[in-house]
Amino acid sequence: MTGLNVSTAKQVEGTGATAQSAVFELSQVSKEFRVGARLWPWGGATLRAVDDVTLRIDPGECFGIVGESGCGKSTLAKLLLLLEPISSGRLAFHGQDVRSFSRRDVRRFRRKVQAVLQDPYSSLNPRMSISSIISEPMEALGVGNRKEREERVCTLMEQVGLNPDFRRRFPHQFSGGQQQRVAIARALSVEPEVLVLDEPTSALDVSVRTQIIRLLLDIKSKYSLTMVFISHDLAVVEQISDRVGVMYAGEVVETGQAKDVIRTASHPYTQVLTAAVPSPDPDERPPTRLLLDGEIPSPLNLPPGCRFHPRCSRALPQCAADRPQLTLIEASREAACHLFVPSAPPSPGANGKVAKVS
Ligand code: SF4
């Protein structure tokens, strides 16, 4: 297995980021889709799924991306996997702009960056045996001969906790958790550097979810993998991620160390999101509970200024007009909110629409 030496990385002052080449570096990356162009004579509308996202993902870390459904997490995953081209901005992989990739570079990239998707059953071909499914990426990328691939399938099955004797079976003969293990084995088959996991545990039972998280933590440390872990489940993200980025309406509104962001959220949206995480201990419940009114805005009709302002209880007068930028608010912590601009008044005028205390 290949692994990057993260110990040589130097810390960049104040950001928690490393001076070593980032695995992924996104600068003002946006993704737009034209919708309804064939149906509407005026040419349809522009759907902005990912908007102006700037972040870096460093070697060996697990970067969690969280947010409500429809916030752009999965589109961001597709951009990272080169399944969709970016509309604007710059997306670099190990310092190289992906738009300059030759066919050979794309082929190398496909080997280095693998995906694990949400629904294991629909991501596995029901007509293929488990052995064929796991060896498929190796065949597609010309890795090893038939015998070597077969041996590797057995090794991988053992590594993900499956009995290699079952390699001739088909996906429907496995439980949901076992199917996700197959999907992980398939992703590992070509010795990737990076796993992009899009809601890998959300279709699983709670007990199976814990097993899969343990497996992912195990393979991450064993192979020095870099992971991008996308989920709406903050408890799971806190368990597995080193750093997180919180997305709202296509934008990243807060980044930082996972535990800091989830336990002491800074951005008003993150505060509402994290307050909604249930605690197993009722005594540990926060004294106040924040509830969010309204829906996440349509990417076809995004509000001006701060995207969160129609739902934000702490909105300032300028929030409806001025779009806040993601800025460093403390070491290793960024937020896009006017409350953190030094000139902002300490006591914001609530618009009364959002946060309720229960
Ligand atoms: Fe709320 Fe304004 Fe901050 Fe947006 S910028 S989260 S509306 S306070």
pLDDT attached to residue 77: 95
CATH number for the domain spanning 81: value is 3.40.50.300
Q: Which DSSP symbol is given to 345?
A: -
Position 38 in a domain:
no
pLDDT attached to residue 283: 58
- Assess whether 153 and 77 both reside in one domain: yes
Pick the residue whose CA is nearest to atom 7 on ligand 1.
309
**pTM of the complete model beyond 0.75:** yes
Last residue of a domain, one of 243, 263, 283: 263
In degrees, rounded to 5, the angle at the alpha carbon of residue 51 between the alpha carbons of residues 320 and 349 is 20
Report yes or no: 269 and 293 within 8 Å, Cβ to Cβ: no
Looking at the DSSP assignment, which residues form a beta bridge with residue 246?
Answer: 66, 254
- Assess whether 231 and 287 both reside in one domain: no
- Residue of 266, 290, 293, 312 with the most ligand 1 atoms within 8 Å of its CB, for mutation: 312
Position 271 in a domain:
yes
H-helix segments, 247-337:
258-263, 268-275
Report yes or no: 115 and 199 within 8 Å, Cβ to Cβ: no
Task: In whole angstroms, give the CA distance from residue 136 to residue 124.
Answer: 11
**Which atom of ligand 1 is found nearest the CA of 309?**
7
**Which atom of ligand 1 is found nearest the CA of 268?**
6
- Assess whether 173 and 195 both reside in one domain: yes
| Per-position DSSP letters for 84-134, written without gaps between them | S--SEEEEEETTEEGGG--HHHHHHHHHHEEEE-S-HHHHS-TTS-HHHHH
Report yes or no: 292 and 275 within 8 Å, Cβ to Cβ: no
Tell how far CA 59 is from the center of its chain: 15
pLDDT attached to residue 299: 83
Q: Which DSSP symbol is given to 62?
A: E
Looking at the DSSP assignment, which residues form a beta bridge with residue 50?
Answer: 31
- Assess whether 293 and 253 both reside in one domain: no
Centre of ligand 1 to C-alpha 17, Å, is: 26
- Residue 293: CB atoms within 10 Å: 13
**Tokens read off for 197:** 């996991």
Q: Is 306 in the pocket of ligand 1 (CB under 6 A)?
A: yes
- Assess whether 305 and 159 both reside in one domain: no
Q: Is 152 in the pocket of ligand 1 (CB under 6 A)?
A: no
- What residues make up the domain containing 282? 264-358
Q: Is 308 in the pocket of ligand 1 (CB under 6 A)?
A: yes
- Assess whether 344 and 355 both reside in one domain: yes
- Residue 302: CB atoms within 10 Å: 15
- Assess whether 247 and 353 both reside in one domain: no
- Assess whether 244 and 338 both reside in one domain: no
Tens place of pLDDT for every residue, the chain, 358 residues?
333 333 334 443 444 444 568 999 999 999 999 877 666 666 678 888 999 999 999 999 999 999 988 899 999 999 999 999 999 999 999 999 999 999 999 999 999 999 998 887 788 899 999 999 999 999 998 888 999 999 999 999 999 999 999 999 999 999 988 999 999 999 999 999 999 999 888 878 887 888 899 999 999 888 889 999 999 889 899 999 999 999 999 999 999 999 999 999 999 999 998 887 666 555 555 545 556 777 788 888 889 999 999 999 899 999 999 999 999 999 889 999 999 876 555 444 444 343 332 2
- Assess whether 356 and 247 both reside in one domain: no
Q: Is 338 in the pocket of ligand 1 (CB under 6 A)?
A: yes
**Tokens read off for 259:** 């535990």
Task: In whole angstroms, give the CA distance from residue 354 to residue 122.
Answer: 38
**Which atom of ligand 1 is found nearest the CA of 313?**
1
